[in-house]
Amino acid sequence: MNVLIVHAHPEPASFTSALFQAAVEHFRNLGAAVEVSDLYAMGFDPVASGADFNERANPDYLVYALEQRNGVKSETLRDDIQREIDKIKHCDLLVLCFPVYWYAMPAILKGWIDRVFVSGVFYGGRRIFDLGGMRGKRALVCATLGGREGMFSAEGIHDDLHALFRPLLKGTLGYTGFEVLDPFFAYHVPYLDDAARGEILSQWCELLGEIDQRPVMPMPFTDEYDTNFERRVR
Amino acid sequence: MNVLIVHAHPEPASFTSALFQAAVEHFRNLGAAVEVSDLYAMGFDPVASGADFNERANPDYLVYALEQRNGVKSETLRDDIQREIDKIKHCDLLVLCFPVYWYAMPAILKGWIDRVFVSGVFYGGRRIFDLGGMRGKRALVCATLGGREGMFSAEGIHDDLHALFRPLLKGTLGYTGFEVLDPFFAYHVPYLDDAARGEILSQWCELLGEIDQRPVMPMPFTDEYDTNFERRVR
pLDDT (tens digit per residue) in A18-44: 999 999 999 999 999 999 999 999 999
Instruction: For residue B63, give the nearest of B109, B108, B12, B119 by alpha carbon.
Output: B119
B109 pLDDT above the threshold of 70: yes
- Tell me which of B47, B69, B84, B192 to substitute to probe the interface with A (most A C-beta atoms closer than 10 Å): B47
Neighbours of A56 (CB within 10 A): 17
* B104 contacts chain A (CB < 8 A): yes
* pLDDT confidence bin for A93, thresholds 50/70/90: very high
pTM over the 0.95 mark? yes
At B136 the pLDDT is: 98
pLDDT in tens, B193-209: 999 999 999 999 999 99
pLDDT in tens, B148-166: 888 887 778 888 899 999 9
Look at A228 and B170 and tell me if their CB atoms are within 8 Å.
Answer: no
* B228 contacts chain A (CB < 8 A): yes
Measured between alpha carbons, how far is residue B49 from residues A99, A139, B73, B114, B143 in Å? 13, 26, 18, 10, 27
B145 pLDDT above the threshold of 90: yes
Look at A10 and B48 and tell me if their CB atoms are within 8 Å.
Answer: yes
Section B119-140 average pLDDT: 96
Section A185-204 average pLDDT: 96
Angle of helix B194-209 relative to helix B15-29, nearest 10 degrees, comes to 30
Percentage with pLDDT > 90 across chain A: 87
At A59 the pLDDT is: 97
At A49 the pLDDT is: 98
pLDDT in tens, B64-77: 999 999 999 999 99
Kindly compute the dihedral angle of the four CA atoms of residues A206, A209, A212, A216, in this order, to the nearest 10 degrees.
30
Least confident of A65-69, A155-159, B58-62: A155-159
At B116 the pLDDT is: 98
Task: For residue A54, give the 3-state DSSP assignment.
Answer: coil
* pLDDT confidence bin for A153, thresholds 50/70/90: confident
**CA A211, chain centre distance (Å):** 17
Burial of A142 from C-beta contacts in 10 A (0-12 / 13-18 / 19+): buried
**pLDDT: is A154 or A18 the higher one?**
A18
Section A165-171 average pLDDT: 96
Reported in sequence order, the residue ranges of chain A that DSSP labels E, i.e. its strands, are 2-7, 33-38, 93-99, 138-144, 179-180, 184-186
At B28 the pLDDT is: 98
At B234 the pLDDT is: 62
Measured between alpha carbons, how far is residue B112 from residues A56, A221, B157 in Å? 28, 36, 30
The dihedrals phi and psi of B138, each to the nearest 5 degrees, come to -110, 155
3-state helix, strand, coil in chain B (%, to 5): 45, 20, 40
The β-bridge partners of A60 are none
A155 pLDDT above the threshold of 80: no
Average pLDDT score over chain A: 95
Instruction: For residue B69, give the nearest of B61, B77, B59, B80 by alpha carbon.
Output: B77
At B190 the pLDDT is: 92
- Residue among B46, B129, B157 whose CB faces A47 most closely: B46
At B110 the pLDDT is: 98
* pLDDT confidence bin for B127, thresholds 50/70/90: very high
A195 pLDDT above the threshold of 80: yes
Look at A47 and B49 and tell me if their CB atoms are within 8 Å.
Answer: no
Least confident of A85-89, A145-149, A182-186: A145-149
Section A59-64 average pLDDT: 96
Look at A159 and B172 and tell me if their CB atoms are within 8 Å.
Answer: no
* B14 contacts chain A (CB < 8 A): yes
At B17 the pLDDT is: 98
B167 pLDDT above the threshold of 80: yes
Instruction: For residue B188, give the nearest of B135, B230, B143 by alpha carbon.
Output: B143
